[in-house]
Amino acid sequence: MSAQFHVSSNPHVRAASSTGSIMMLVVIALLPAAGFGIYNFGTRAALVLLTSVVSAVLTEYLFGLYKKKLTVTDLSAVVTGLLLGMNLPVTIPLWMAALGSVFAILVVKCLFGGLGQNFMNPALAARCFLVISFPSQMTNFISTGEGALDAYTGATPLALLKAGENVNVMEMIIGKTTGTIGETSVIAIVIGACILLMTGVIDLRVPGSYIVSFVIFTVLFGGHGFEQAYLSAQLAGGGLMLGAFFMATDYVTRPITVKGQYLYGIFLGIMTGVFRFFGPGAEGVSFAIILGNLLVPLIEKVTVPVPFGGKGGRKNG
């Protein structure tokens, strides 16, 4: 026999989609929120996003040259850089945005084996790294730029809520408020989420269970019961929607089992509520997702399907 067969370990998947095509759809889905961020905060927001993306791509390219295996064409570095930039305040020094991208690609992704081997979301890991390393710069939400309005200066809506002050929920939904570059407009984020849902890139298991569990936790422990304005503000504020649809759904760092995805989403909702209502800060999405990433191996272990004809659980004796 002259025919040669290439044998590899499972899973064996036949699909028209490639990593590059999926990442391109994610980039397209992020454009509404990123574009609104530039409109909202001015041209400096574009500089932060560009710095973050270019630094991420360049880091992966240089590492690929070193390893003699270029993977930059799969666009995953573009997605990481764009997500990180959208999670940064517009006032952050550009060198910090570049440092965050280098950390995301080099430390979190490449040094662990590249795409598919990283154990946590690179963009969120980099954001947490920057928050811990440069807390004042990462919490400076004073807007600058040609398109920024003086009304956007000061605390974020979630910080005002935690201080007991009132916020304008409609402005939060539209995006006429302060925050990180890509998190302010719920409308723009939902438009992007719909693109991912309609193209089949994501489903509602993780984001749906995340949002529902967070709402239940807020009703029980938020101190405002079923108050509609407060619930709406908590959902529209901070990085909840961006995190739920674009980062918690990351293929690499979420569970692969169906039950595991629901448990993962519930855990994220609970932990986000714990951080927001009982922690010192008003946010909590980034750290909640990072903690969830670390628990994914355990979640998958307890939710792995029982083989046909097998028995769940262990026998005693």
Burial environment of residue 117 by CB neighbours within 10 A (0 to 12, 13 to 18, 19 or more)? exposed
Residue 226 CA, distance from chain mean position: 27
Q: Who has greater pLDDT, 4 or 284? A: 284
291, 247 contact by CB (below 8 A): no
Nearest alpha-carbon partner for 241 in 197, 203, 285: 285
> What is the spatial distance between Cα 86 and Cα 75, in angstroms, rounded to a whole number?
17
Residue 233: which residues within 8 A CB-CB, separation 6 or more?
157, 158, 161, 167, 169, 172
Burial 198-208 (b: 16+ CB within 10 A, else e): eeebbebbbbe
* Fold type of domain 19-303: Ammonium transporter fold (1.10.3430)
CB 191 within 8 A of CB 198: no
Chain segment 227-268, per-residue pLDDT in tens: 999 999 999 988 999 999 999 999 889 999 999 999 999 999
**What is the pLDDT, as a whole number, of residue 223?**
87
> What confidence score (pLDDT) does residue 17 get?
66
Mean pLDDT confidence for 39-65: 94
| pTM given for the model | 0.86
What's the full length of the chain, in residues? 317
**What is the pLDDT confidence band of residue 163, given thresholds at 50, 70 and 90?**
confident
For residue 167, the model assigns a pLDDT of 86
Return the pLDDT at 237: 87
Q: Taking all residues of the chain, what is their mean pLDDT, rounded to a whole number?
A: 86
Rg, the chain, Cα only: 20
The ranges assigned to domains in the chain are 19-303
Q: What angle do CA 110, 62, 93 make, to 5 degrees?
A: 85
DSSP element (H, E) containing 18: none
Confidence tier at 116 by pLDDT (50, 70, 90): confident
Q: Which residues contact 112 (CB under 8 A, 6 or more apart)?
A: 118, 119
Q: Model confidence at 310, in pLDDT bands (50, 70, 90)?
A: low
Please give the average per-residue pLDDT across 87-93, as a whole number. 95
How many angstroms separate the CA atoms of 171 and 224, rounded?
21
Q: Give the pLDDT of residue 61.
A: 93
| Higher pLDDT pick, 77 / 143 | 77
**194-226 residue pLDDT tens:** 999 999 999 999 999 999 999 999 999 998 889
Higher per-residue confidence, 4 vs 35: 35
- The answer to whether the beta carbons of residues 37 and 182 sit under 8 Å apart is yes
